[in-house]
Amino acid sequence: MTDAQDSSEAKAPVPQSVVVIGASHAGVQLADRLRAEGYTGEITLISHECHLPYQRPPLSKAWLKGEASSESVLLRDPAYYADQKIELLTGTRVEQLERVRDGVQVRFARDGERRTRQFDRLVLATGARARRLTLPGADHPDVLVLRDIDHARSLAGRVQAGPIVVVGGGFVGLEVAATARTLGAAVTVIEAGERLLARAVGPDTASTLLAAHRGMGTEVLLGTAPAEILHDHGGLRAVRIAGGREIPAATVLVGIGAQARTELAEQLGLECDGGVVVDEACRTSDGWTLAIGDCTTHVSDAGNRYRLESVDNAMEQAHTAAAVLLGRAIPKRTAPWFWSDQGDQKLQITGLIGGHTSMLVRVDPERPRRRVALYFSGGALVAAECLNSPADFVVLRAALARDHRPGPEALSDTGVPLKKLLGPSRG
Ligand code: FAD
């Protein structure tokens, strides 16, 4: 692949107005990129949330720990939007979209009023919502999810209230578990699968993290599903698991994944499959509407469909969408990456695992906390998980970005640092 791919929209007229629904990592980055690329037309960002756009990753980490303020997690300074002539409509829910000959009509509700406005181009950046439990008792107010800052406020108010049961051993659940332990809460994680993070990381990384969480004092129950949430006199009391054991709980945090918000795309008749289906240019099935970030479903070159829920994906797709709107070449997509901080465990992932044919784990014998799991397909490096090894992560990410993909035999000698084996001169 060359550094840039041609956009098939290269000759489409540059729109005079763009509306972006959703003002979070993807939407704000798109607006920013359009201005940085010299776009002078109207940009309107619509957000259902009443807050200025903020970062979500700290909500389960520094923010919950009290080490970040609501101001420090803002994606941009409050003055940024006016300075950049970006119209930001917060507290505004888009209810209906209609394609018209010259663009799109957007019907939204704000301050109890309904209005309709027309724009030349539409970008969906509607993200995802946290999945909820549907068990008996799961509608209790102390059964919480964590997706937005209001959820985080509710959770922060409950950390000292008594034992916490986290349902789901995914990233959000494990980050909250680690943070809550740091703050002194008694924490139990119950995970239905036979290992943690089953969809996201390989078995070596999963078992290392399992040991780390148990080492922090968290009880982790694998292969365990909640059956009922019990309360007495209004207060939450326990989670009953299959088999009958009752785990004391003052608060339940449900971390069982997120569901793409596809309602508006469905209204427009766009193809959805767990998310809004997009091509490599972020075009949806009508070839005109663009969609970016957590609300999307990608289609790989081999035709496989997958979703990415990460800040990196939101940023990359925002850059792609900006190029498409401006009729410019689409930037080359680098290997996706992700991070997760769980207590003192720092996990960084680059590339996509799954579909690999072999793997190799490198452990620094002098610093065993540093582990790198490497994944290969057809003898070529495709992905890596780095635990507590940020320097290795930088080297691996750079190698994948420039398509330097050696096989396992070239990377197996743990006596030689990855920097030496993969440094630019080896590419
Ligand atoms: P979202 O952030 O979901 O934003 C979509 C916005 O659209 C929302 O504000 C929503 O209200 C709005 N919206 C939807 N429908 C409408 C409508 N009809 N009208 C108006 N507005 C609407 N990623 C990492 O890479 N690393 C991490 O460590 C990490 N930690 C995380 C921790 C937590 C607690 C959470 C919740 C997420 C974390 N993520 C992390 C994931 C990351 O935050 C998401 O990938 C990212 O927020 C996706 O951005 P987005 O703009 O696509 O969607």
In this structure, the strands spanning 367-377 and 380-387 are antiparallel
| 380-387 sheet: strands from edge to edge | 337-342, 345-351, 380-387, 367-377, 358-364
Distance CA 350, CA 156 (A): 31
Distance CA 345, CA 378 (A): 31
Report which ligand 1 atom has the smallest distance to the Cα of 258.
36
Residue labelled with tokens 């399992």: 210
CA of 149 to the centre of ligand 1 (A): 11
CA of 392 to the centre of ligand 1 (A): 28
Closest CA to 218 of 254, 256, 257, 247: 247
Which residue has the least CA distance to atom 15 on ligand 1?
126
| 246-248 sheet: strands from edge to edge | 226-232, 235-241, 246-248
pLDDT (0 to 100) of residue 11: 56
CA of 408 to the centre of ligand 1 (A): 36
Whole-prediction pTM value? 0.95
Secondary structure (3-state) at 385: strand
Please identify every stretch of the chain with a pLDDT value under 50, giving residue numbers as ranges.
1-10, 427
Report which ligand 1 atom has the smallest distance to the Cα of 130.
36
CA of 228 to the centre of ligand 1 (A): 29
pLDDT (0 to 100) of residue 355: 81
Report which ligand 1 atom has the smallest distance to the Cα of 59.
34
Which residue has the least CA distance to atom 32 on ligand 1?
57
Report which ligand 1 atom has the smallest distance to the Cα of 263.
18
Distance CA 43, CA 227 (A): 48
CA of 126 to the centre of ligand 1 (A): 8
Which residue has the least CA distance to atom 39 on ligand 1?
57
Closest CA to 293 of 263, 267, 262: 262
Q: Which residues pair with 190 in a beta bridge?
A: 167, 221
The answer to whether the CB of 312 falls within 8 A of the CB of 334 is no
How does pLDDT run across 383-402, given as a tens digit for each residue?
999 999 999 999 999 999 99
How does pLDDT run across 260-289, given as a tens digit for each residue?
999 999 999 999 999 999 999 999 999 999
How does pLDDT run across 319-375, given as a tens digit for each residue?
999 999 999 999 988 899 999 999 999 999 999 888 899 999 999 888 889 999 999
Residues framing ligand 1 (Cβ under 6 A):
21-22, 24-27, 46-49, 56-57, 59-60, 93-94, 125-128, 146-147, 172, 261, 264, 293-294, 309-312, 314, 338-340
Distance CA 92, CA 350 (A): 36
pLDDT (0 to 100) of residue 30: 98
CA angle 108, 112, 114 (to 5 degrees): 35
The answer to whether the CB of 135 falls within 8 A of the CB of 228 is yes
Secondary structure (3-state) at 364: strand
pLDDT (0 to 100) of residue 425: 60
The backbone torsions φ and ψ at residue 218, rounded to the nearest 5 degrees and listed phi first, read -85, 135
Which residue has the least CA distance to atom 14 on ligand 1?
126
CA of 23 to the centre of ligand 1 (A): 9
Which residue has the least CA distance to atom 3 on ligand 1?
127
Which residue has the least CA distance to atom 6 on ligand 1?
22
Secondary structure (3-state) at 397: helix
CA of 418 to the centre of ligand 1 (A): 33
Which residue has the least CA distance to atom 53 on ligand 1?
127
The backbone torsions φ and ψ at residue 322, rounded to the nearest 5 degrees and listed phi first, read -60, -45
Residue 105: HSE in the Cβ half-sphere, 13 Å Cα cutoff:
9
pLDDT (0 to 100) of residue 266: 98
pLDDT (0 to 100) of residue 24: 98
Distance CA 126, CA 293 (A): 8
CA of 127 to the centre of ligand 1 (A): 5
